[in-house]
Amino acid sequence: MSKELSAIIKGIAILLMLIYHLSNIPGIQGLDNVFHRTLSTASYPVCYFLIVSGYGLYYVYKQGRLSMKYLLKRSCKLYIAFWIVLLIFVVGLASFLYPGRFSLQWDDLIQNFLGWRWGYCHFTWFLLPYILMSFSAKWVFRAIDYLGNVVSVLCSFFIYLVCGFLISRYFESWLQWHMAVYHVVLWAQTLFTLTIGAVMARLVLSGKSLVWDQLNGKNLLVLLLLLVSFAIRGQVHTSVLNPFHATLVVWLVLHLRISGLPKTILTELGDKSMLMWFAQGFLGVAMFSEYITLLRWPVLIWITWVVVCYLVACLLKPLADGVAKVVKLS
């Protein structure tokens, strides 16, 4: 999986994320048609990012570059982008447009800026577990190398099931009041999908191909299989299948020959996916959710939403890159 292909997969993931999160915006639930309901159910984008991260980080690990310095720079860049979005949309715009909507007390600011809590926007829940996952990746990969592919997948899947059970049964009664434990549970839940990405990298490094000759380059057949997978997944309402469906989608995308305008669009979206992820939560849920439904039609809302988030990300990226350069992270 090349960097270009990873960007394409992240581009697909951010498109799915925007569909998935539209279904969680107040007032958008009225757009309850088969297309929107099926895609929002089948589109759990976190798993796509974790698979790509697991694949890429394992490559870095085998090259001996997965150092503390590397991880600190990677995490700081993520936080810088997140902080810029928070400063602009929460501390800046929202305090003038919607005074009182967000608590600007120091304890709330610090906890939200660290990702410890996500009172400003629930969509940012993934930030801190992702950081923890990155810092623990070296030890996870050592365990995978020791246990082997099959045992690693089975063990991490068991952990995934246990964490899912704990969250579903004890979040409201206990976990939400003990955030340190909750973040550990969320981190542990990411390990299964991270392991899938790492195992894919291990297979490639061992000389095995992830691509089937029977499907390679047969775009119409692969797109049909993708469509069928989303249709079936959208009718099965259980989060247990999220990592499996994401793995299937990533595997099928590996067989596509993407070129021209679709390749350019997906690669560009993938490169901006992090900032789009941060910005869409605050733009949609925190500030302008009442305006989104004015467009009425789900497809038009989604396309407009993609364009708006992409343009915002384009405006923010030079600022984030500039800050990272000033603090010598790039």
Q: Which amino acid is at 266?
A: L
Specify the higher pLDDT residue, 251 or 177: 251
Q: Which amino acid is at 182?
A: Y
Mean pLDDT, the chain, as a whole number?
83
Count of C-beta atoms within a 10 Å radius of residue 3: 10
Written as six digits, the tokens of 24 are: 């969680």
Q: Determine the Cα–Cα distance for residues 33 and 55; give it in Å rounded to an integer.
A: 35
Q: Determine the Cα–Cα distance for residues 51 and 6; give it in Å rounded to an integer.
A: 10
Measure the N-to-C terminal CA separation of the chain; round to a whole number of Å.
Answer: 24
pLDDT tens string 8-36: 999 988 888 887 777 666 555 545 555 55
Q: What are the boundaries of each domain within the chain? A: 3-326
Count of C-beta atoms within a 10 Å radius of residue 104: 13
Asked whether the predicted pLDDT for residue 269 surpasses 70, the reply is yes
The pLDDT, as a whole number, for residue 28 is 55
Asked whether the predicted pLDDT for residue 80 surpasses 70, the reply is yes
Locus of tokens 């988030």: 309
Q: How far is CA 167 from each of CA 29, 136, 182, rounded to the nearest angstrom?
A: 24, 21, 8
pTM above 0.75, yes or no: yes
pLDDT tens string 36-74: 566 666 667 888 999 999 999 999 999 988 888 888 888
As a 3-state breakdown, the chain gives helix, strand, coil percent values, each rounded to 5, of: 80, 0, 20
* DSSP H/E element including 86: helix 68-86
